[in-house]
Amino acid sequence: MRVKACICTDIGNTRDINQDSALIKVANTKNHGRISLIAVCDGMGGLSKGEVASCKAIRTLESWFHEELSMLQNLTENELWDAVESSFDRMIRRINGDLRRYGKHRNLNLGTTLTAFLQIGNKYISVNIGDSRIYAVRAKEVERLTKDQSLVQDKLDRGLITEREVFSDAEKSVLLQCLGTSHAPNPEVRKGVLKDNTTIIACSDGFWRTLGAEDIRKKLCPQMCLTDEDMLNQCKKLVEKAKSRDEEDNITIAAACFEM
């Protein structure tokens, strides 16, 4: 499997601090081939030190990839996936606890979203807390792999607002789940098989809020991602498009194109 990857982040039009953090890790393993981890965390702008929360979460993910995940590589495929799911759940709880303790000792409220995609062979698991998103981009389609844990998503599910009203809703930034401010985060977990020639992107809400599926497909379908540099240039164009549409938040995308 060949993997091309890049990260693009921008402070945006109005913010003083970039509270987004992102990660891509790729490694070769003896028993399970190429493995990849893609993640984006969006520190909550309404709370103190959102940039600290997102950075701490990403650093924990990175340590988990290098240390805990590497220790599981001698397991069989079925054993590995069972262990990964349990290990990921413990890690998320650890991040949540660490952020709560950090805030308590400094009299701060801090929180972050977390969305992550782990690929091992042709299978994947995605984990989502909050309203950052993961998309699978292919030649003719864009598939959303996560569901926002937000108040507007809940309103939409219950038929209280329409798709067109989502972006103008006064409560569009209210999250139902995040890391750091709740006792027991309940992540959305999804498992699946990775299709050949797919670009996986993880992004903050500053990226997806003003960009439609067709905007994303045209720039980040595998045919447009021939090299890492091509991908980065396409991501930068999308970031600039979001800014031109008056997006006010930080904008972050982590993208990886998989060719099997």
Say which DSSP state 17 is in: S
Task: Tell me what percent of the residues of the chain surpass a pLDDT of 70.
Answer: 99
Single pTM value for the model = 0.95
Give buried/exposed letters for 197-235 (b at 16+ CB in 10 A, else e): ebbbbbbbbbbbbbbeeebbbebbbbebbeeeebbbebb
Tokens of 14: 């109005």
pLDDT digit string (tens) for 76-125?
A: 999 999 999 999 999 999 999 999 999 999 888 899 999 999 999 999 99
pLDDT digit string (tens) for 115-152?
A: 999 999 999 999 999 999 999 999 999 999 999 999 99
Helix (H) or strand (E) holding 24: strand 20-29
Helix (H) or strand (E) holding 42: strand 33-42
